[in-house]
Amino acid sequence: MKKIFILILFAIITAGLLLFFNLKGGRDTLSDSAYISKREYPGIAGQMIAVEKDEVNFLNDSGKVKKTIPLKDIKHDNGPYREIEGIWAIASENKRYVALISEQSRVLPGYTAASTDTIRYYNIKGDLLWKRDGIRIGSEPYISISSDGAKIFLVLSQKPENVTDLSYPNRPVMLDNDGNEIWNFGEYDDIQNRYITKNGRYGFFEFTNDKEWGVIFFDVNNKKSHKYGFGKSNEPGYCEISETGKATVSRVNDEIIDAKTIPFTVKTSKKVFYEYQF
């Protein structure tokens, strides 16, 4: 009887520890759900990452799939709650790196117990290079990746407890492909837009902060930034920055040419009224 009691006690403790580490995010649900896809890629030879509608495939030197991660919602039943993970995939232009962003909710019957947004960054071999919690997700994840995958610009949102709106700090950061912070831009009330150039050297983000509203253009290599404030004497506009570091703010007008067509035929004109060169 004593031996049976000890075995039952050991099983309860083990189950409790597993549940605890799941709740603390100790398990990588994406890696646990990986498999080998049956998809074929005829005519492709060499390593690359192929992002499909429902999965991400990592191809080997022969162009064969060696690892697959699903993009459909992942559901895990963990005792009293169910874990649901919806996933986005954003690959670098050279198809050698991919960011998987998951919105993970732990649901108890009738309500959501907890929700976290996590980014995982993989190389061409399908190896997880780094993982980070707290990425902001709106209608899409707030992330931009340079063409070579070496630089990642994203917005982290450290959401306080019991806050349901967007009035909490948003922290733009630039990372390298090892997940190290190259540049921390500080905290802002809100970030409306963000962009980095294909070469990863320049970028910008539009922000609001207390009574301030504007755009910050930046030069990554030289750690220089330039702020253009909207409002008062400066009007807001369409922001851009080139691969050579030329920042512009433009006035964009859409003129309807033919209202009989659906959608309407529209002529768009753009006039630059502010520029800055790094």
Q: What are the tokens at 277? A: 């060169």
Are 83 and 156 members of one domain? Answer: yes
Domain that holds residue 99: 72-187
Cα torsion 69, 140, 138, 182: sign? positive
- pLDDT > 90? residue 56: yes
**Is 206 inside a domain boundary?**
yes
pLDDT above 50: residue 78: yes
Q: Are residues 179 and 214 in the same domain?
A: no
Question: Is position 24 within any domain?
Answer: no
pLDDT tens sequence across 124-149: 999 999 998 877 766 677 899 999 99
Cβ count near 64 (within 10 Å): 13
What's the confidence (pLDDT) of residue 25? 41
Kindly report, residue by residue over 91-127, the tens digit of the pLDDT: 999 999 999 988 766 666 655 555 567 889 999 999 9
Cα four-point dihedral sign 153, 85, 69, 76: positive
**99 & 205 share domain:** no
Quick one: average pLDDT of 236-253?
92
User: Mean pLDDT across the chain, nearest whole number?
Assistant: 80
Q: How far apart are CA 29 and CA 104, in angstroms?
A: 10
pTM over 0.85: no
170 pLDDT above the threshold of 90 = no
- On whether the CB atoms of residues 97 and 84 are closer than 8 A, the answer is no
143 and 239 both lie in a single domain: no
Q: Does 168 score more than 60 pLDDT?
A: no
SS3 4: helix
Asked whether residue 125 is domain-assigned, the answer is: yes
As for how many domains the chain has, the answer is 2
Q: Where does a domain end: 145, 165, 187?
A: 187
Is 102 a domain residue? Answer: yes
Is 50 in contact with 56 (CB distance < 8 Å)?
Answer: yes
Contact 247, 227 (CB under 8 A): no
Buried/exposed 236-271: b ≥16 CB within 10 Å, e otherwise: ebebbbeeebebbbbeeeeeeeeeeeeeeeeeeeee
**Quick check: 20 pLDDT over 50?**
no
For residue 185, which of 207, 212, 161 has the smallest C-alpha distance? 207
Give pLDDT, residue 24: 40
Is 244 in the same domain as 275?
Answer: yes
- Asked if residue 6 has pLDDT above 80, the reply is no
At 166 the pLDDT is 45
